[in-house]
Amino acid sequence: MTPAALTVAALSLDLGPTRLVDGIGFSVAPGEVMALVGESGCGKSVTAQAIMRLLPDAIRQTGGQVRLGEEDLTALPERAMQAIRGRRLSMIFQEPQAALDPLDTIGAQIAEALRQPLSRVRAEVRRMLEDVGISDPERRIDQHPFELSGGMCQRVMIATALIARPAVLIADEPTTALDVTIQAQILDLLRRLAIERRTAVVLITHDMGVVADIADRVCVMYAGRIAEAGPVAEIFAAPMHPYTALLLASIPRLSDVPKSPLAVIAGQVPAPGEYGPGCRFANRCPRAEPRCATTTPPLLAAGQGREIACFAPLADRRAP
């Protein structure tokens, strides 16, 4: 097995007395796309911010580790972190147009990732723009974000994130704000670049369709914890966690009117701070048993690289 490019171990994030993310862990290998999925508010974005060490002031990492290759980022001073961001560890965002400074040219912003003025690295920036599929890069390089479409802005963001050839790219819902046709193009681009450049990608999404399209592995989060993780093919073929099963059942087929998972799974996700002592899915789970409400199911290995946290999984394939 190749050593992981990124390892997150037992990560806990607190907002004051409230635990938002409760001891989650996963790892991503070079060239692999790992999807982090889950309903709104389950803690995907704060996890990404914690990996980047760019958490909002109010949120603190109270436990766990983030490792880039062998290096533990958790203990690094901010200066060292700055040298890593954009170079070895990059991130792209949900609203590409908002993620670019409206008053600055795109070329100048891409060059920032190389810590060089644009004039010095112009050829390199132009080549990168070509790589992300922007036509006429020599003209685009001096344009401002408002002169580009949303899809092109996301390509620019990808160029910015990858120009320094980082080992890890975190993409926080990179296509949610884009048109469906553009979404597919951007996902293809990410997939292709990840493979070509051996970049480990953490793809945050709440769209199981996106997961099926481009991810190698998936990590299903529910209310600040990991419910189930493993290879996409295995999990889609035979989900074990009741929540995963319901999520998969809610993927819209071509013939369906699109629905959100919330419309399909009855009940509400508990808010952070309202979590009980047991399984956080218990109030919505069709398979809940009495102990589910009182005891937290541990995340256990289930063979074939799978992990699951449930007392009554759909097909019990846990290793004995």
Partner 1 sequence: MTGHLAGRFGQALVACFGVLTIVFFVMRLSGDPTLLLVPEGASAEQIAALRHELGFDRPMLVQYVAYLGDLARFDLGESLVQRAPVAGIVAERIPYTVALALGALLVALGIGIPSGIAMAVWRGTVVERALAAIVLAGQSLPTFWSGILMILFFGVYLGWLPTSGADSLASLVMPAVALGALTMSTFARMTRISVLDELSRDYVAAARARGLSRMAAVGRHVLRNAAIPVVTIAALEVGNLLAGAVIVETVFAWPGIGQLAIQSIAARDFLVVQAVVLFVSIVYIAMNLLADLAYAAIDPRIRLER
Ligand X SMILES: Nc1ncnc2c1ncn2[C@@H]1O[C@H](COP(=O)(O)OP(=O)(O)OP(=O)(O)O)[C@@H](O)[C@H]1O
List residues binding partner 1 (CB under 8 A).
52, 54, 78, 82-87, 90-93, 95, 98-104, 109, 112-113, 115, 144, 146-147, 157, 160-161
Q: Which does 41 bind (CB under 5 to 8 A by kind): partner 1, ligand X, Mg ion, none?
A: ligand X
Closest residue to ligand X using C-beta atoms: 45
Nearer CB in complex with ligand X: 13/128: 13
Q: How far, in Å, are 65, 73, 74 from residue 34 at the CA level?
A: 18, 20, 21
Region at 133 (left for phi over 0; alpha for psi -120 to 50; beta for the rest):
left
Q: Which does 137 bind (CB under 5 to 8 A by kind): partner 1, ligand X, ligand SF4, none?
A: none
Nearer CB in complex with ligand X: 143/250: 250
CA angle 293, 296, 302 (to 5 degrees): 120
Nearer CB in complex with ligand SF4: 3/303: 303
The binding track of 202-221 with respect to ligand X, each residue x by CB under 6 A or -, is ----x---------------
The strand pair at 89-92 and 168-172 is best described as parallel
Q: Which does 63 bind (CB under 5 to 8 A by kind): partner 1, ligand SF4, ligand X, none?
A: none
239's tokens: 């989900």
When asked if residue 53 is in the footprint of ligand X (CB under 6 A), the reply is no
> Which are the contacts of 102, defined by CB distance < 8 A and separation ≥ 6?
144, 145, 146
- The DSSP secondary-structure symbol of 85 reads B
CB of 315 to ligand SF4, least distance (A): 13
When asked if residue 43 is in the footprint of ligand X (CB under 6 A), the reply is yes
d(CA 196, CA 204): 21
317's tokens: 């394939």
Nearer CB in complex with ligand X: 206/217: 206
The full 3-state SS of 120-152, as one line of letters, equals HHHHHHHHHHHHCCCCCHHHHCCCCHHHCCHHH
User: Helix, strand or coil for residue 10?
Assistant: strand
Furthest C-alpha separation in the chain: 66
Nearer CB in complex with ligand X: 131/172: 172
Interface residues with ligand SF4 (CB under 6 A) are 241-242, 279, 281-282, 285, 287-289, 292, 297, 310-312
Among 19, 44, 53, 241, binds ligand X (CB under 6 A): 44
CB of 51 to partner 1, least distance (A): 10
Among 15, 108, 262, 314, binds ligand X (CB under 6 A): 15
When asked if residue 261 is in the footprint of ligand X (CB under 6 A), the reply is no
Closest CA to 214 of 251, 179, 240, 183: 183
Q: What are phi and psi of 230, to 5 degrees?
A: 160, -175
Residues of this chain that interact with ligand X (CB under 6 A) are 15, 20, 38, 40-46, 56, 58-59, 206, 272
